[in-house]
Amino acid sequence: MAQIRRVTGARTGHAGTLDPFATGLLLVLSGTATKLASCLVGLDKRYRTEIDLTCRTSTGDPEGEVVERHAPPGEDELGKRLERLRGEIELPIPAASAVKIGGERAYRLARRGVEVEMPVRRSRVHALDVIAYTGELVTLDVLVSSGTYVRSLAIALGGHCASLRRTEVGPFSVDDAVAPKAFTAEWLLSEAHVLERVEAARAAPPT
């Protein structure tokens, strides 16, 4: 965000975070627009993820240690697993997350090898569509409610996220974004325009 601060000369902040291994869209707010952060909370998010179905890791992503290896499911079995994860679901939050357990971040406990029972989070999975399946690696287009851990979906499928890219946050798409180093003032959206798009997105059904 340093480039954005240099261009605008104003304080900046971001709405939401990305896992260290993930790429994609991050909404950045500048100047008086930082007050819009609360308006952006709760927006649905879309991801493109590759899930390795041959093993689980301690973190649900490629940064963890392999804790289990197994044969991947066939297409029919994969379809059944995916179907169980569509709609309203409840899944444990990954151990390597920032959720506090007993006043301490879960990922810090995980790094020390402390095993804890992770709380369950209710989410809505609007879309969980197969883009490709090699027999070991499945590529999915995922549209979920805010706060959903795609890593939890990967774990429930029997694997881990090999890659994760956020492509949409509400009405905002990575296709319309710019890399931080290439940012110029022309990329700024007005507060009114942002609010208009957010209100329209909240009124429309997920697609």
Instruction: Give me the active site residues, please.
Output: 19
| Two structure tokens written together for 29 | 């707010």
**CB neighbour list of residue 18: distance below 8 Å, 6 or more residues apart:** 24, 26, 166
Instruction: Give me the DSSP letters along 112-166.
Output: TT----PPEEEEEEEEEEEEEE-SSEEEEEEEE-TT--HHHHHHHTTSEEEEEEE
**H helical segments located in the chain:** 2-8, 37-40, 75-84, 106-111, 150-156, 191-203
